[in-house]
Every structure is written in structure tokens, then in C-alpha cells.
Structure 1
């Protein structure tokens, strides 16, 4: 039985639109991630999961430890439900959340905030003052690749902290400020971890990506090591976090890195099909119903406009996965309320049939659905809420 038949049979009692998670594929992907990590623990990126029960399920697997959250309110909520060791990987300016953190001894013990400048410390002090619980701090380091005297850059525009002396100065600033404790360093190499190096149809671009990634890996290996050495002269670090799903194996080989961040690899969304170094199994899918049958070769499904974040382009659209052989109408793409699909497979679909899609990214799918139906074999064995299903919308 192929996957389409299996998913159709497992969800026959459900009316689409809905989202499913294939547990066998999830476990396979998790095992592959651990093999690539080579024994280093993987901190789970919550933005790629966005379901609290699913986070608990993943963290119960050996080899996964800690959460990388995307907002402080999210981290506070997760800790309030019993989850622990949460790194907020992006600076926060949420004054109400900071006040809650400073007043809660459990949250202050379990949550680490990320900063990249003294301004972040100033804002925290101005918000909560002294006489509070000590706040744990992680430095965010720029992991981008820069060449030609700064005229070329690859990687996300994140931290202004780039060189060992810059990191040491900021570490010293944290160490001198009462009420803070420096416990970690993180750096996300987006140009390696988040950029596929095996994209079909454009060999020139693929070659350029591979060249930049190779040079970036060599440069970052040295620079990150020197940064960690400089910071550890000032503070006893509990962790050095790096990488992402696309760079687990490469980042894990760096001696300076003690843990890897990853999340998308569990779901293996469409954008992660284009990497040479690993393959995964599509685990998260959503089903849309056929509601119209215009001229031959076309069907229309309900909804579908679940565009992924990032630079606009067709690769940010959901991918019609099953049945194979469907594509978007050039003039319409993925629509807000309906989406026409073209191709020979359209003629075999009838009103009420399902078309199964994969999102371009991982956790963003969960912003559109209140639940994930967990499929094991040919049946739904459990239904778990997403953040949205628990009434939580952090971004």
C-alpha cells in the first residue's frame, strides 16, 4: 500500500483541511539526525515543532535535550507546563515577560536569554531593576560568511558580535553586571544549515552555493573556536550551541561546539529535499479537499495559501505531494480560499478526494491547524494540539 492510500485510509473519518504527522517517518528522521550528530546532544528548535505534546514526545527520545524557543512568552509557558532547559534564541524586548521571568525562581533557573549587545542588558535592568532572580545569558555570535572586504556576505543578518575580542568585551560586560550570569554562546550558520546545496535545474547556482559553504565552514571552524576560547577565559560556559538541521554533521565535528540545534529535520519539509549530505522522510503533511473540477486536467482544492517565510519565490509555496503529477496554475499559485492544480493526475480526482501537501518549512504549518493527527501505519493513534490549538500564538 502506498503512502497516499495509507493516509487516506487512516484519516477516512476526518474532513479536510487537516494536518497529519507520520510517526514512523518522524522516528526515522530523528534517528538519522542523531547519527549525524555523532554523540553530541541536539537541542530541539520549538519553532519547527510548535506542538507542546509533540515536543514532549521528541524530548523523551535519547539524544535530544533542551529546547530552543523563539520568544520569551513561549519559553515561560513551556516551563510552566513542566518542560525544562529552554534557550530563547532571539533577543527579547517584551517587558511583561521579562518581569514574569525575573519574579519566578523556576523560570529564572530554566530559561536562558540571548543577547548581542549591552543594550539588551540595559533594557532588562530598566524593566525589572535589581533585587531580582539572576538571569541566565547566552551570547549570539554572527556566523555569516564575509568576503572581498565585506562586499560579499552569505548568512542571516543577526548579531553584530563577530570577532573574538568583540565577544570577550561583551562577555566581560555581562560578568560585571549584577543580576546576570553568562552561561552560553550560540551561533547559527544559516548559509550552511538553512541553504540546500543540491537544487535541481540550476547547476551554476548549486556550484556557487557549494563553494561558499565550503569556504564558510573552514572560516567558521577557526573563528568560532577562537571566540569560545576568548569567552571561556571570562565565564564558565554550560553550552556552546551551533548549527541546524542542514549542518548537523558538519557542526558536530567542531570541538568548540557542545550541542547542536535542530528542528526541521523531524518533519522534513520540502525545502530540506535539496541537500546532498542527508535525506529524510516527509513526516508532516496536510490534506485539502477537491471542491471543483473545471475543464479536464484541472482540479480546485479548498485553501492552500500557506506560504513559508523567507525570500518570496515558488520554493516558499506548499508542494502538492500526493497524488504525484500536480502543479500550480501559473497565474494563481496557492490561493487564500481555493487553489487550482494542473496536471494529468487531476483527471483521476473526484469531488471530495484529498490532495496531500507538504509545507515548504516545518513548524509554520502548525500556525494553520489546531491539531496534528498522529498516524501509525494505517490509523490515527492520537491527536495532539498545536500551539494554535492550545490558544497560543507567539508570533
Structure 2
């Protein structure tokens, strides 16, 4: 492993010798390997790409050109509209409900957009908001998807997973589907159930064997419960709607979710870049494909090398797992009292004394697409050369959240 990382460092250094840090790269060979592996894990079911984990028009297009990938799961309605207008996809599901009135007005005013974008809903108030923007008789029929809560509630007051939709039971799902069916101007075309406690939680956290055992036990029981409940909910919804898709999963649960007979498609995105959070998974670990480089600018003491910047911290609970990790050269670590800083990041470890001012340290981000909020472009590396520089959302002037 150490030899492979040394070879990767040499290759990235040679490919980007003409660039000044900080900058970010995507190794195309690793990206394509991950994309193919995710399709294999999906076992014949189409994979919808999660745009928030990629955040680059060019790379989304590259992935969607590959066999097995179909459609986009966007994170905001304005983003979905941009992706359709940019011809990235004509099948974009918005993963979260929206209250963006201007974007809703744009969607409701364009029949082509309305045919390509699917809104996420889980509350009649969201339908009311759409009607207040433009009444049903004054707009094309809008496509909507029901967000079914996939969290596990083994006991009263116990909630395992993220807090998303209020629609949890099959009965509630059927009742909501009936509500949508009775409303003019809407068509229920899909159901989504994202099992975050399985897909988004590593089951082998480093150095925490007991916690890993507990997580795996919870995930097994949660999966069995969801398998039955999701199937029943889909059946209940189909009594009121002609569903086009049932979506589930994420990179961390692709194989398990695709095995659910109720699911017709799965979603993945983070596995394309292979961020550090996915080092804590046993079932499949993507090949690291996205990196950012920072330059050593000072040597404050023996055994310490300090790079400029580096504090590109990921969202989520404020804990060490959200910090970027120095990856190349191997053997570096963050300083516990400082972590990754906005303007400088001191590093220690066996390799620190070998670093000189001007040398590069390659980091991996904790979460996939959030890296793209820090840079205007991604340098695409093929072998030992940068073959292109493509804009991130930020570089294209796209700011959504």
C-alpha cells in the first residue's frame, strides 16, 4: 500500500508540476473504475447519479455517458433547472422539497422543464406552495416524488437515521398518494426512500471495533425492517399512482438496496470520488479519485511542516471524521490542537522532516462534492498528464446551497 501511494504521489506531482497549489485534481482512471464498480454493485438496476457528490457539469456528463447510469438526483430545484437547460440530463429528480418560488415559477412556466424535472414532496403544504405560485389550470402538470422516511424506529421515541420525511408507514404513504391523486396539476411518478443509517454510515470505523460491531447489528435489523415496510409502502402508493421509479440507496448501500425487489433504481455519487468517509466501509471501498494539493510554506520546528490553507472541513457533526486528511506522502497527520486550519495547517509524522518549503502535500476531502465548493476547476489527470481543466459548480458561477 505504501509503495502504491508513493507511485501515486510521484504521478500526481509530475502531472501537475506546472500548477501552483492550492488546486484539486480528479484521477480519471480511478473515477472510471469506481463508476464501473458501482454499476456492478447495482446488479442490473440503473444508477442515478447524485449531483451534490460531483458538482461538475463535465464530470456529470462523463458519468451519464457510461452504461448503467441514468438520470440525476439533484439537491435543489435551481440546480435541476440548470442541469436540464445545460443538457446534462432530461431526467432530474430533486432530492429535497423546495420553497424557492422563483424556481417554481420557472418550472411551471416551461412545459419542457416540467417534463424533465421531478419535485420531492412529503407534505400537502408543499403542494399548496406550488399552487400559490401558479394555479393548476395555468401550468403544465408537475411531476412529484414521494419521500418515504427510511429511518428505523425500533422503540417508541427511538429514531435511527436522518430526520427527513414525516411519511413513515405504508398507511401514511398510501394516504399521501391519495391526496396527490386528488389534486389537480400534479402527477405522482416516484417514491424515494434513502436509508441513511445504512448508506451513509460506515460500518468499520477505524480504531472503534466495538462501535463497528454495534453499527453492523443496527444496520442488519434496520435493513430487514425497511425491506418489508418499503415494499408495503410502494404497494400502497401504486393503488393511487402509476409509478415510473422507486429510488433508494447510496454508495454505502448500493448492493443491499438493489437487492430489494421494490426498488427499481439506486443512487450513487460519493463513490465516484472516493472521499475519506468511505474508508470506514467493509462492503466496498472506492479507489480514491479526488485530491487537493497544498504547498509547504514553513518549517516551524523539527518534525513539523506547515502548508498554506487546508481547512476544507466537511459538513455534518463537528468531529474528526469531517476533517480533510493528509494522504500523500503517507505518514503525515494533523496536529490535534490545531486540526486543519483556514490559512495554515501544521503536519507532523515520519515524513514531515523530509518536506521542504515548496513541496506539495496531497489531501483527501471527507465528503465528495463539497471539495468543489473550494475550487473553481478540477484538473483531470490521465496517467502522468493533466488532460483538461473543467469548471466546478463554483467555477461556473453556480451557487445553490
Which interval holds the TM-score relative to the shorter structure?
Answer: over 0.9
Q: Distance in 1 between matches of 2:158 and 2:101?
A: 37
Match in the other structure for 1:269: 275
1:51 partnered with 2:56:
yes
Aligned partners of 2:86 and 2:34: how far apart in 1? 26
Give 3-state SS (helix, strand or coil) of 1:55's partner.
helix
Is the partner of 1:293 in helix, strand or coil?
A: strand
Give the Cα–Cα distance (whole angstroms) in 2 for the partners of residues 354 and 222 of structure 1.
51
Q: Runs of at least 4 residues of structure 1 off by over 4 A?
A: none
Match of 2:335 among 314, 329, 340: 329
In the alignment, does 2:146 pair up with 1:146? no
Stretch moving more, 200-209 or 3-12: 200-209
CA distance in 1, matches of 2:155, 2:85: 48
- State the alpha-carbon separation in 1 of the partners of residues 308 and 221 from structure 2: 45
SS in structure 2 at match of 1:44: strand
Tell me, in whole angstroms, the C-alpha distance in 1 between the residues paired with 2:202 and 2:208. 12
Match in the other structure for 2:85:
80
Distance apart, 1:141 and its partner CA: 0.5
Shift of 1:129: 1.6
Q: CA deviation at 1:199?
A: 1.3
Given the two structures, how large is their TM-score scaled by the length of structure 2? 0.97
2:36 aligned with 1:31, yes or no? Answer: yes
Task: Tell me how far 1:56 sits from its aligned partner.
Answer: 0.3
The one of 114, 129, 141 equivalent to 1:134 is 141
Using the alignment, how far apart are the partners of 1:9 and 1:334 within structure 2? Answer: 26
**What is the deviation of 1:372?**
0.4
In the other structure, the counterpart of 1:223 is: 229
Residue 382 of structure 1 aligns to a residue in which SS? strand
Question: 3-state DSSP class of the match of 2:261?
Answer: coil
Match of 2:176 in 1: 170
Superposed displacement of residue 200, structure 1: 2.1
Measured in 2, the distance between the counterparts of 1:136 and 1:235 equals: 12
Matches within 5 A, 1:311-350: 311-350=317-356
Aligned length: 394
Cα offsets for 1:99-156 (capped at 9, x unmatched)? 000001111000000000101001111111231011100000000011122x322111
Q: Is the 2:295–2:308 Cα contact (8 Å) retained in structure 1?
A: yes
SS of the equivalent of 1:221 reads helix
> TM-score under structure 1 normalisation?
0.99
Query: Does 1:68 pair with 2:60?
Result: no
- Measure the CA separation in 1 of the matches of 2:124 and 2:73: 22
**CA distance in 1 between partners of 2:277 and 2:206 (Å):** 12
Written as runs of structure 1 = structure 2, the 5 A alignment for 1:373-388 is 373-388=379-394
1:279 positional shift:
2.1
**How large is the Cα RMSD of the aligned pairs?**
0.8
Number of the residue aligned with 2:369: 363
Partner Cα separation in structure 1 for residue 279 and residue 184 of structure 2? 47
Q: Which residue matches 2:3?
A: none
Name structure 2 gaps, 5 residues minimum. 1-5
Partners in 1 of 2:183 and 2:153 — Cα distance? Answer: 32
2:325–2:334: 8 Å Cα contact kept in structure 1?
Answer: no
Q: Partner of 2:97 in structure 1?
A: 91
2:209 is matched with which residue?
A: 203
Superimposed CA distance per residue, residues 199-229 of structure 1 (whole angstroms, 9 cap, x where no aligned partner): 1211221111011000001000000000000
d(CA) in 2 for partners of 1:145, 1:172: 25
Q: Does 1:192 align with 2:188?
A: no
Partner Cα distance (2:97, 2:400) in 1: 14
Give the whole-Å Cα distance in 1 for the aligned partners of 2:387 and 2:397.
23
**Alpha-carbon distance in 2 for matches of 1:314, 1:323:** 20
Cα distance per residue 1:263-311 (max 9 Å; x no partner): 0000010000111111221000000000111111101101111111111
CA distance in 2, matches of 1:107, 1:52: 18
